[in-house]
Structure 1
Amino acid sequence: MALTAVVSAVGLVVDDRVLAGAPIWFKPFKFSVSFVAYCLSLAWMLSLLPRGRRAGWWAGTVVALTSLVEMVIITGQVVRGKRSHFNYATPLDGALFNAMAVAVVVLWLGTLAVAVLLLRARIADRPSAWAMRSGIVLALAGAGVGFLMTRPAPGQRRGVSEVVGAHSVGVPDGGPSMPLTGWSTTGGDLRIPHFVGMHALQLLPLLVMVLTVLAPRFARLADDRTRLRLVQLASGTYAAVFALVLWQALRGQPLIHPDAPTLGAAGAILAAAALGTYGSLRAAAPSPRGATDAEETPAPKDLVA
């Protein structure tokens, strides 16, 4: 998959073809980079399992192989100049997309097996355990959003339409989009919650690493309980953001044009996160500098000379 990322990057430079409103090599590049990050994250998590490593190895291998199958099909369709997703233009195109759909289901089940192992494992470092478990559950939810994209969009009919399914909601695929991401600027886009959910697998463990690095420099973060509270808060906030962008996409609303309910929900999430962070750090406030237990606790009168 790292190789397909390199090939796709070269394709972006030397091949000027456009498909569905985007450079034709952009999709395999995005998918290959995402799969590399996804598989490396799972491999790191599986390395921390105290038991069940053999089962974890098999589950991880299934995820890696099904990811590879999907990348081979996506890249092959690019070489042919064809859409890889939702394409039923010919029997071959339909068979390739159905094969990808099966691969995605198997990949999801493999990730579910890893999640079960992580949820049952006894991991000594509680912040890391919480981040990994929350991250993989959110990744499963984010991957599950992909199944919503396979539903026929308005006007599409299986057996009749060449394209059945869409990632945009309320507008056709391939319209005006954001730079780099390609997310729709005129309608909802299910790729947004898909992206947010799946990358919890990297971002929540990354937060733990950052807190661990900062702990020696900041007394409030030295306490394992404080770091755990912050990770729990981050996990809850991340889940709320995922739910918000999913709700926004399903209503056919572009990410960059939120309405009043969306802004209100976002404000509530931000306020809760800020208050939660303040409360977590406040509870861990260190004793005044130079103060000792003896200084803070008055001595009994009968022991005073």
Structure 2
Amino acid sequence: MRNHIEGWHRPLLVFAAAMGVLTLVSGVGLIVDDRVLVGSPIWHKPFKFSVSFVVYGLTLAWMYSLLTRGRRVGWWAGAVIVAASVTEMAVIVGQVVRGKRSHFNQETPFDSGLFAVMGTTIVVLWLATLLMAVVLWRQPLADRATVWAIRTGSVVALAGLAIGFLMVQPTEAQLAGQITDTVGAHSVGVPDGGPHLPVTGWAATGGDLRIAHFVGMHALQVLPLLALALTFAARRYGRAAVPAVRTRLVLVAAAGYAGLVALTTWQALRGQALTSPDGVTLAAAAGLAVAVAAGAALALRGGSGARLEPGASASPAASVVEAAGR
């Protein structure tokens, strides 16, 4: 195992391990601490953030191992991401211990200051992720599908992260002075803390920007995993063995995934719950599904009998695994 992670970003690996421990601690907190904050168990937020950061940290640590250019820049970008994320988690957990909200809290100057710190760390994290994405964009890999999965996954993930900036905008009630102890909200059309979906905590009666935020962020994992699945499928299915076909499929999936992020953002901004789409939303979703299906069909056309791209590995799965183990 040590050889497989030798080239990975060590601070990001340590951070992911620490978030794994915090996931366990937060899980225990969910069981033994019966306090409720804004309609959810008080340890729900640190639990969700810890799990997300485990996945995020491991993904970026692995992507760093693929770098052959700009490794120094990539290392510092990863280190800044760790520092910003640790700061954010320290505020979240600290506020849980105090029994206070971490996000949008303006109850006291201290709470307001902590949220301002979080706002700064989010901006820093986004910029550092952007820098990492730029470095990754320039990396030459043997498998073009993997290259485009990483490139498009990084771009969509940055868009998903940016949706978080919409949440800090004051709501109509806050602008009208009806609410003075918070600025910003996850929900649209309903107050935070109302009826919510199980596990996720997303609003069940109104829009929720966290949905698009979550979906977008995890393009960083979904699209590279799709490319990896296609490389293994190449061993058994002739068309998947053609690099151009795999690349086109990844690009179609990336476009569809970006469309899904846009669709869930639009639905949330209209104050519509994920589980209660109206006819317009359903029609848009159906149109997106048809477009993706048509794109996949076109990507597969002409795949049989096509030649491998010049310089491409005859065993793409092996090349990706080899790159990941550097």
TM-score (norm 1): 0.91
Q: CA deviation at 1:286?
A: 4.7
What code does the residue aligned with 1:95 have? Answer: G
Contact 1:50 1:123 in 2 (8 A): no
**Equivalent residue number for residue 321 of structure 2:** none
Contact 1:49 1:123 in 2 (8 A): no
**Equivalent residue number for residue 288 of structure 2:** 269
> Can you list the C-alpha shifts for 1:83-135, whole angstroms capped at 9, x where unaligned?
01000101111111111111111000100101111122223321111001111
What code does the residue aligned with 1:127 have? Answer: A
Distance 1:129 1:81 in 2: 45
What code does the residue aligned with 2:84 have? Answer: T
Contact 1:189 1:252 in 2 (8 A): yes
**Equivalent residue number for residue 3 of structure 2:** none
Identify the match of residue 174 of structure 1 among 193, 196, 208: 193
Structure with larger Rg = 1
**Equivalent residue number for residue 139 of structure 1:** 157
**Equivalent residue number for residue 18 of structure 1:** 36
Higher RCO (CA 8 Å, separation ≥ 6 residues): 2
Distance 2:173 2:146 in 1: 47
Identify the match of residue 105 of structure 1 among 123, 142, 167: 123
Query: Structure 1 stretches of 5 or more lacking a match?
Result: 288-305
Corresponding position: 1:50 with 2:68: yes
Q: CA deviation at 1:158?
A: 10
Moved over 4 A (4+): 157-160
What code does the residue aligned with 1:232 have? Answer: L
Contact 1:136 1:200 in 2 (8 A): yes
Distance 1:237 1:42 in 2: 23
**Equivalent residue number for residue 222 of structure 2:** 203
Contact 2:69 2:138 in 1 (8 A): no
Distance 1:62 1:248 in 2: 33
Distance 2:75 2:100 in 1: 35
Q: CA deviation at 1:155?
A: 1.8
> Can you list the C-alpha shifts for 1:118-170, whole angstroms capped at 9, x where unaligned?
12222332111100111111111111111110011112159971111101001
Identify the match of residue 51 of structure 2 among 19, 24, 33: 33
Contact 1:233 1:273 in 2 (8 A): yes
> Can you list the C-alpha shifts for 1:232-286, whole angstroms capped at 9, x where unaligned?
1100100111111111111111111111111111111111111122222232135
Change (3 A) 1:198 1:255: same
Identify the match of residue 233 of structure 1 among 252, 258, 261: 252
What code does the residue aligned with 2:272 have? Answer: Q
Corresponding position: 1:9 with 2:27: yes
Contact 1:158 1:164 in 2 (8 A): no
Aligned residue for 2:174, secondary structure, equals: coil
Q: Percent identity?
A: 59
RMSD: 1.5
Distance 2:249 2:303 in 1: 11
Distance 2:175 2:248 in 1: 49
Identify the match of residue 208 of structure 2 among 173, 183, 189: 189
Change (3 A) 1:70 1:158: farther
**Equivalent residue number for residue 212 of structure 1:** 231
Identify the match of residue 82 of structure 1 among 66, 90, 100: 100
